[in-house]
Structure 1
Amino acid sequence: MTTQQYQVPSADDFLMGGGGAPTAKFPVPQTTVGGRITERPTVEQQRDISTGDKKFWSDGNPMMQLVVTVQTDERDPQLDEDDGRRRLFVKGQMKNAIADAVRAAGARGLEVGGTLAVTYSHDGQASQRGFNPPKQYTARYTPAATVALNTPDPGTAAPQQQYAAPAAPAAAIPGLTPEQIQQAMANPATAALVAQQQAATAAAATTPPPF
């Protein structure tokens, strides 16, 4: 069955009276939530949605989860002053997907400034009758340094296109068309000969006639 995640506010949100960023939602397969990580990810204990009590495994160990806040393009008109931040409560298969993405990026973990995108790809197999099948996820992660390298500096103007002057036409040689001259110049075996002939033709054209 589907439950809403209990939200523990960050220290700043608690101090200023806010409840923290809304929980990221994955209503249907192929839904993707992602963006730049805006604050340091934290680890906290999971809580029961009905009672708010902390959850434990059968052996008594606490059930933990990772909380990651990302800056998305989403805006919910029902939320006052929604700035697009969403919190991912990372556990179970989502945790494995994100860990694989971090390893694929050559990183050691999630960091502020990196970008994380999580996609609800499909449903898995329900473990018990009457329960919804578990959501399966894929993830992509880009380290902060890579994001910075690929982000253009807003203070740097785009380079202006350089004007390229048209190539000078090949000097005329009696008996040869311009196309034939260009083909001859492209051949190392005849280029020198054509250059000599062009020089001779140009010199003859500038020599004044005898009186």
Structure 2
Amino acid sequence: MSIDITANDFLMGGGIKAARFDTIGTTVGGPITTQPKVEQQKDLDTGELKFWNDGKPMMQMVVTVQTSLRDPEVPDDDGQRAFYIKANSLKAVREAVRRSGAKGLDIGGTLTLTYTGDGEQKARGKNPPKLYSATYQPPAQAAANEFLNGGQQPAAVPQQAAYAPPAAPQPPAPAPAAPTAPAAPWTPPPGMTPEQAAAVAALPPEQRAALGFA
């Protein structure tokens, strides 16, 4: 999984509230709203950039998702939260992406993190590392699930008629079949947003049919 680093990534990402995982069992997630990015970690106390013992920078992935959370102390809180993915959370997200069959995180995909417990305390006086689990749905799958969970009833998948063998032992040769007309373009059902329609239209016809979008 590869995410490009740009010069202004850190600057442009400022202002998004970090997702908080204060208690075990806390789950935060939602659709990814901006392109995931990579930046160097900073010390929370001093603000200085962090490096490994060999001098290499310690990096982290920043992913912003749209949640239903609202901070009553922030009047203009729009619910966006930033995941600062590193160490154990990075392992969890990497496994979730692999399970989904995707090659990485994309805008429109749904990423969820859950604080599952604490690891072994490495040094006295420091908090033990937090452990996480994660789930990820690529954009097309996430859009289809959102539509299905919205209460809309998808069109039924047509049943293919069973084949009946001819009764006559030697039927006449069939006439040449007429050319098949090109299939009509797929039409999204009422209630689907343009983003959802684009995501479902990008699926292969057989996958659309399996999801109920014939």
Query: What TM-score do the two structures reach when normalised by structure 1?
Result: 0.64
C-alpha distance after superposition, 1:98-154 (max 9, x if no partner):
00000000111100000000000011110112221111000000000111223339x
1:49 corresponds to: 44
Structure 2 counterpart of 1:83:
78
Determine what percentage of the aligned residue pairs are the same residue.
Answer: 50
Aligned-partner Cα distance in 1 for 2:56–2:146:
43
DSSP 3-state at the match of 1:150: helix
What is the distance in 1 between the residues matched to 2:68 and 2:154?
A: 30
Give the number of equivalent residue pairs. 145
Note the C-alpha offset of 1:80: 2.8
CA distance in 1, matches of 2:137, 2:97: 8
Question: Of 123, 128, 135, which residue of structure 2 is paired with 1:128?
Answer: 123
Q: CA RMSD in A?
A: 2.2
Secondary structure in 2 matching 1:44: strand
Tell me the residue number matched to 1:204.
none
Question: Higher helix proportion, which one?
Answer: 1
Among 40, 49, 54, the alignment partner of 1:59 is 54
Report deviation, 1:9.
5.0
Q: 1:51 to 1:129 in 2, by over 3 A?
A: closer
Partner of 2:99: 104
Distance in 1 (CA, whole Å) between partners of 2:47 and 2:142 is 38
**Counterparts of 1:147 and 1:125, CA distance in 2:** 35
Residue pair 1:121, 1:136 contacting (<8 A) in 2 also: yes
Distance 2:95 2:153 in 1: 37
Q: Distance in 1 between matches of 2:11 and 2:142?
A: 25
